[in-house]
Amino acid sequence: MPYILGVLEEEQERLSSQRNDYMAILEKLPRKGGSIVEKEISGHKYHYFAYRDGKKVRTEYIKKKDLDEFRKKVAERDRISRIVSGIDSDLAIIRKVLKGEHR
Task: Name the percent of the chain lying above pLDDT 70.
Answer: 96
Measured distance CA(40)–CA(50) in Å, rounded? 15
Which amino acid, residue 54? G
Contact, 29 vs 75, CB < 8 A? no
C-alpha–C-alpha distance, residues 94 and 103, integer Å: 12
Report the largest interatomic distance among the alpha carbons of the chain, rounded to a whole angstrom. Answer: 71
On whether the CB atoms of residues 94 and 11 are closer than 8 A, the answer is yes
pTM, two decimals, is 0.77
The type of residue at 46 is: Y
pLDDT tens-digit map of 35-64? 899 999 999 999 999 998 889 999 999 999
